[in-house]
Amino acid sequence: MTTDNVLDRGPFLHGTKAVLQLGDCFKPQHHSNYEVGRISNYIYFTGTLEAAKWGAELATGSGKERIYLVEPLGEFENDPNLTDKRFPGNPTRSYRSKEPLKIIGELATWERHADEMIAQTKAHLKQMQADGTAEIID
């Protein structure tokens, strides 16, 4: 990627419940954070703490919510699931890549959204899946 076509210089974050170490990489072709049984073709990440918090809070599983600082190791693009559908212009700075993301740090502390807000959002996403409207462009 040349500096002429860089979408965003970061820093970048990835919210999840996965337990990884510094230097490890997130890679595509692993289970999705958001849909049980789905293998994701991309790794998704963001340039905003707000979006990373939602990533961690909405991730499937029962582990500790984590936000990692990540470095894209290849080209990336705007996430069409958010940029084109819900947030034109990409104010959430949401991206995806078919290349690994290297973990370069972890946020030790961050303020979660209110439990009620998380529960409402999870219920909304569950209803969208039941209705068949939870399409993910992957």
State the CATH number of the domain containing residue 81: 3.20.170.40
In a domain, 136, yes or no: no
Residue 135, pLDDT above cutoff 70? no
What is the pTM for the complete model shown? 0.82
Residue 1's pLDDT band (boundaries 50, 70, 90)? very low
Residue 4's pLDDT band (boundaries 50, 70, 90)? very low
Contact 47, 93 (CB under 8 A): yes
In a domain, 25, yes or no: yes
Give the pLDDT mean for 12-41.
82
d(CA 44, CA 8) in angstroms, rounded, equals 14
Note the pLDDT of residue 8. 80
Q: What residues make up the domain containing 125?
A: 3-131
Give the pLDDT mean for 51-57.
94
In a domain, 21, yes or no: yes
In a domain, 110, yes or no: yes
d(CA 58, CA 52) in angstroms, rounded, equals 10
Contact 99, 88 (CB under 8 A): no
d(CA 80, CA 137) in angstroms, rounded, equals 7
The answer to which of 13-27, 47-61, 78-92, 95-109 has the lowest mean pLDDT is 78-92
Note the pLDDT of residue 10. 85
Query: Number of folded domains in the chain?
Result: 1
Residue 3, pLDDT above cutoff 60? no
In a domain, 55, yes or no: yes
Contact 61, 31 (CB under 8 A): no
Helix axes 115-131, 49-58, angle to 10 degrees: 70
In a domain, 138, yes or no: no
- The rounded Cα 76 to chain-centroid distance in angstroms is 13
Residue from 70, 54, 74 nearest 120 by CA:
54
Q: For 75-131, what is each residue's pLDDT tens digit?
A: 999 888 766 666 666 777 889 999 999 999 999 999 999 999 999 988 988 887 787
